[in-house]
Amino acid sequence: MNPILLAIIVLGILGLAGGAILVLASKFMAVYEDPRIAEVAECLAGANCGGCGYAGCSDYAEAIVKNGAPTSKCAPGGSKATEAINKIMGQSGSGGPELKAYVACNGSDENCGKRFEYQGLKTCAAAAGIAGGPSACSFGCLGLGDCTRACMFDAIHVVDGVAKVDREKCTGCTACTAVCPRGVIKIKPAASQPAVKCSSREKGAAVNKTCKVGCIGCGVCAKNCPQGAITVENNIASIDYEKCNGCGTCAEKCPKKAILWIEGKPRLVDGPGAGA
C-alpha cells in the first residue's frame, strides 16, 4: 500500500478515536452547573467593581445561587437588578434604598489649612504615612485622588483640595470607600437627607483651630432633631438615616454649618425644622 495513503488512514483512525474519547470524557467528567448562575449573572451590571464583596459579577452570581448570598449587593444594578434576581431565585423582597457615596469632609483649601507642603508620591495612602499627612486636620480628606482613580464611573473628583462625589453618576459600588486611607468617604441613601460633612474626632477647640466648617461636637443638632435621628459620639455628630425624615432642622441649627445637603432640599414639616 502506498505509504502516504497508509499514513492518512492511520491519522484518520487516530483522529476519530481521539474525538470519541473526548466526547465520552465530556459526558462522564462533566461538572454540572446550575443554569441559574448564568441567568443571575445576566441581571448584574457587569462592572466587576467588587462592591458586592466578591471578586466579580460571576463570583457573586455563583454565591447567590449556591450559597444563598443576599441578592441586593449589586449597587450599580440597583433595585432593578435585585428584583430580576429575586424573580429567578423565586423569592420576594427588595434591595432597600438606593445608596450612594458622599465625602464626610468639607475641608477645602479655603476651609482647612495645611501643616506642611507634601512633596512625595501623589497618593493619599503615601501622604497619610508621612507625619499623618499635610492637612491641618488629621481626619480630613487628603485630596490626592486615590478615590478618583478607583472609581470606574467617573463619579468622584478632587475640587479645591477635597474629593467631591457626582451623585448622579455614583452607583454606590464602594470602590472609593475601600481605598480612602482616612475613611472619609461614606455611603448614605440617595434620598433627600442631610449629611455630616466632617470626620474629625478632635474636641471643639482643636477643630476650630484647623477647620472653619468642622463639627465641634456641640450637640445642638442632636438636641433639636425632632426625630431623635442624631447622636454625638467621639466629638462627631452621626445621622441615623432610618430615623431621619429630611426635615432639615439639624442643617439649620448647626453653628458651624458642618451638616449640609448632598442633594435635594429639606421637607416642609410641621413643628421644629418646618421650612428649614
What are the pLDDT digits (tens) for 126-146? Answer: 999 998 899 999 999 999 999
Q: How far is CA 121 from CA 146, 160, 274, in A?
A: 11, 19, 49
Give one DSSP letter per residue of 220-273, joined into a string.
Answer: HHHHH-TT--EEEETTEEEE-TTT-----HHHHH-TT--EEESSS-----SSTT
Determine the pLDDT at residue 10. 72
Q: Which residues of the chain have pLDDT under 70?
A: 1, 26-32, 93-96, 268-276
> CATH number of the domain at 191-276, please?
3.30.70.20
Determine the pLDDT at residue 269. 47
What fold does the segment set 35-89 form as a domain?
3-methyladenine DNA Glycosylase II; Chain A, domain 3 (1.10.15)
- CA 259 to CA 218: how far, in whole Å? 13
* DSSP secondary structure code for residue 207 in this structure: H
Rounded to two decimals, the pTM is 0.73
Determine the pLDDT at residue 159. 95
Q: Which helix (H) or strand (E) holds 81?
A: helix 78-89
Q: Which three cell numbers stand for residue 86?
A: 429575586
Residue with cell 501622604: 127
Strand partners, 44: none
Q: Do 191-276 and 98-190 fall under one CATH topology?
A: yes
* DSSP secondary structure code for residue 185 in this structure: E
Question: Mind listing the pLDDT tens digit for each residue in 10-64?
Answer: 788 888 887 788 777 766 666 667 899 999 999 998 888 888 878 899 999 999 9
Which residue ranges make up each domain of the chain? 35-89, 98-190, 191-276
Q: Which three cell numbers stand for residue 78?
A: 440597583
Determine the pLDDT at residue 2. 75
What's the residue count for the chain? 276
Inter-residue long-range contacts of 66-71, CB under 8 Å, 24+ positions, other chains counted:
66/34, 66/37, 71/95
Q: 98-190 belongs to which CATH class?
A: alpha beta
* DSSP secondary structure code for residue 44 in this structure: S
Determine the pLDDT at residue 272. 38
